[in-house]
Every structure is written in C-alpha cells, then in structure tokens.
Amino acid sequence: MERMSLESFNIIESTLREGEQFVGANFTTDDKLRIADALDEFGVEYIELTSPAASPQSLDDAKKIAQRGLKAKVLTHVRCHIDDAKLALDTGVQGIDLVIGTSSYLREFSHGLAMQQVIERAVEVLTWLRAQAPNLEIRFSTEDSFRSEEADLFRVYLAVDRVGVDRFGIADTVGIATPMRVHQLVSGLRRLVKAGIEFHGHNDSGCAIANAVTALEAGATHIDTSVLGIGERNGIAPLGGFIARMYAINPALVKKKYRLKKLRKLDEMIANMVGVGIPFNNYITGVTAFTHKAGIHAKAILNQPETYEILNPKDFGMTRYISIAHKLTGWNAIKDRSEQLGLPLSDDQIKEVTAHIKALADEKKLDLNDVDELLYRWADGASNEPIGK
Ligand code: HCA
Ligand code: CU
C-alpha cells in the first residue's frame, strides 16, 4: 500500500485556486488560460480553479477552462453548500472539490455550524450532487483538519463515505502539522475508507513538502501544489519542490510522468505575473540550485556529479555551475578551467596559480576574469607580474 501511493500519485495543481489567493495574484482570463495550458503541458493530472461563486469572471473563466480540452482534469473548488455546488455544476468541470471547516476556530468564527450540522450539510450537498451528476468526480475536504478533534473528523468522514465520494481531502490550513501527525491522520483514514485521499498543506513553518510526501507514504493518492508555492500567507507545497522530492525518490517515474524541462518556464511565468522574483535558493530553478563552490566539492563534482547532486540539472534543462574565483577554490577546479581555455599548463603550474588565487582572494573579491587573466599569464610565463594595472 505505501509503495503504491509513491508510485501512482496525482498532482492537483492549485495555482489557479490557492495561488489566486496569493496577495500578488490578479490573473486575467488570458493569464489563466496561459497558466492552464502550461500546467497541462507540464503534465499535472488535475487543475483546480477558483470557485465560480467568487465573481462573474471566475464563473466565465471556469467554463472556458473546462471546455479547453486539456489532458488534465479540471476541478473547481467550492464551499460545501448547495448554491455553490449548483454553480460549480454549471461550469461543466470534470470534478468538484467541496470544503467545510471542522476546527472549533472555523465553526465558531467562520461558518458558525456545530459538528452535527457540519455532518448534515455534508451529507445533504453530497447526496444532491451525486443525484445530479453520477459520474462527476467529487472530493470532500475538512478545512483546518489538524486543529479539529480527530473524533469529529472521523464522524464526518464516515458519514460522507456512506453517501460515497471519490476522494477525501485533509487540509493543513494553517501549516501546523508535522510529518508524524500527517502520517497518523492519513493512515487512520486510509484504514477506514477505500476512496482516494488528497493532502493540502500550508508552509507556515516549512513542513509543506515533507508533509505532502509523508501523506503519500501513509496512503494518500493526491497532493495539492501551486507554482512557487503561492497561496494564502506564504503558501502551500510548491510544484517544483514537490517534484524535486519525488524525483529524489524515483527519478525514472517522475521523468516519465512530467515534462520536467517546462518547470523553469512555469516558475518564471508565475513569478512575473504575481510580481515576485524566483528565490535564489528555490528548488531546481533558483540561481544557486546547481552551483558548487568549495574546492573539495568541485573536485568530486568534476569526477562524478552524483557525489554532491541528487538532482541531475540536465533533466530539468538546467546547467551545473562550479564557482572557482574564491579562497575555497582547489587546483582540480582551476585545472578544469585552464583546460576549458585550452592552456598548456602543467599540474605544478596549476597548483602555483591556485595558491596565488587563494592568497589574492584573502585580499579582495575575485571574479572569473581575474582567474582567467592569471591562467593566461602563467601560460605566457609571466607569472611574476602583479595582477591588475
Ligand atoms: C481555503 C482553505 C484551503 C482549502 C483546502 C481544501 C485550506 O479554502 O482557502 O480544500 O482541502 O488550506 O484549508 O485552501
Ligand atoms: Cu489552502
């Protein structure tokens, strides 16, 4: 069971739903179509859209995207309410994601329903939806699952299971869950129901990706992501980071399922649309993601990249970079550079230049031009002249 999920997981890409809740997001119809097309090309299994109840444009756009003939299944996300469910049906999407809050915070300060009423509402909406559209893919999710009473969660899950859903959703709405808690809740539900299990995790305390993968290990089947992780506050599990994690487990599977070279364009497109930069340390597409520095690392990387890389940059259309103009440099890396420049320097000469570079770097910040200049000088036999004019 556990291996099964890791080998057959589905991505529910929520840039067009959770991502639209990011403070900088204000997608036009054209933006949404470009995003949906790019996600479809990447190969995500599902694309989740903002509720058609949010605005007239949201309704029209949902209809447009539902009719676009994408390979990905198109879902919309609505409150567990008959009026919203009706509107969702009108859009022609292939699936509906229902959500209702089950924590005491949400019951008291948001929808105001007691647990019994939550259960009645869930059963009412699901029964109605099933009757309207027997073949529609329906998911039922409990918002703020990790601050809900476990007994309450299981009461509502069991009631929902009796009506029948395709998928249950577990949401870490506030980013409070740790992998252990996720494992416990997901495996508990896994023992109880046969339907799919979806995990949606926020990243407030940095556990979103770990929680998502742990959910799969515990038997979940679907994971929510957004490009660059955008969403409420600091967002949810980022598509690229989740992909990096799954690739680290099973590169062949991930390469087969998704067109990984499209990730960079996706990250750049969303960053531009929402007015942010791609963080320097971003998974896969950050500028330093494949940069190596220390001489000891550089030597091993030149011999066998896997020594310090679990992700092959080539698979993502990225390139490795070895930084050599600094005091931590080593002669193997400098030798590699001199070979790139086609200079006939002996190992002894390379070691001499390297010592010189290290001493110089103690005095000032160097760049690759400084290194190259020194290498050319040594090759010319003019090693004694001071660098710079
Ligand atoms: C929201 C909350 C949500 C829903 C997740 C879900 C969350 O509607 O904005 O439907 O499973 O984080 O709880 O995104
Ligand atoms: Cu969320």
pLDDT by residue (tens digit) across 90-125? 999 999 999 999 998 888 888 888 999 999 999 999
Ligand 1 within 6 A of CB of 200 = yes
**Per-residue pLDDT at 381:** 87
Domain boundary among 232, 249, 274: 274
Pocket test for ligand 1, best of 147, 200, 222 (most atoms within 8 A of CB): 200
Quote the number of domains for the chain: 2
CA distances from 215 to 6, 100, 152, 167, 298 (A): 10, 20, 20, 14, 36
Assess whether 258 and 115 both reside in one domain: yes
Per-residue HEC secondary structure of 268-300 comes to HHHHHHHCCCCCCCCCCCCCCCCEECCHHHHHH
CATH of the domain at 154: 3.20.20.70
In a domain, 286, yes or no: no
162 falls within a domain:
yes
Tell me the sheet residues that pair with 137: 95
Closest Cα to atom 12 of ligand 1? 173
Task: Find out whether the beta carbon of 173 lies less than 6 Å from any atom of ligand 1.
Answer: yes
Per-residue model confidence as pLDDT tens digits over 249-262 = 999 999 999 999 99
Centre of ligand 2 to C-alpha 179, Å, is 17
Q: Let me know if residue 282 belongs to a domain.
A: no
Does ligand 1 come within 6 angstroms of the Cβ of 171?
A: yes
Which residues span the domain enclosing 247? 2-274
Whether residue 307 contacts residue 301, with contact meaning beta carbons closer than 8 Å, is answered with yes
**106 shares a domain with 61:** yes
- Measured distance CA(92)–CA(74) in Å, rounded: 9
What are the tens digits of pLDDT across the range 141-178? 999 999 999 999 999 999 999 999 999 999 999 999 99
Q: How far is the CA of 236 from the centre of ligand 2 (A)?
A: 7
- Where the chain has pLDDT below 50, the residues are 1-2, 389
Residue 104, pLDDT score = 87
Judge if 211 and 108 occupy the same domain.
yes
State the average pLDDT for the chain: 96
pLDDT of residue 343: 96
| Domain contains 301 | yes
Last residue of a domain, one of 274, 302, 325: 274
In the block, which residue shows the tokens 């029209």? 60
70, part of any domain = yes
**Which residues belong to the active site?**
297
Assess whether the C-beta atom of 203 lies below 6 angstroms from ligand 1: no
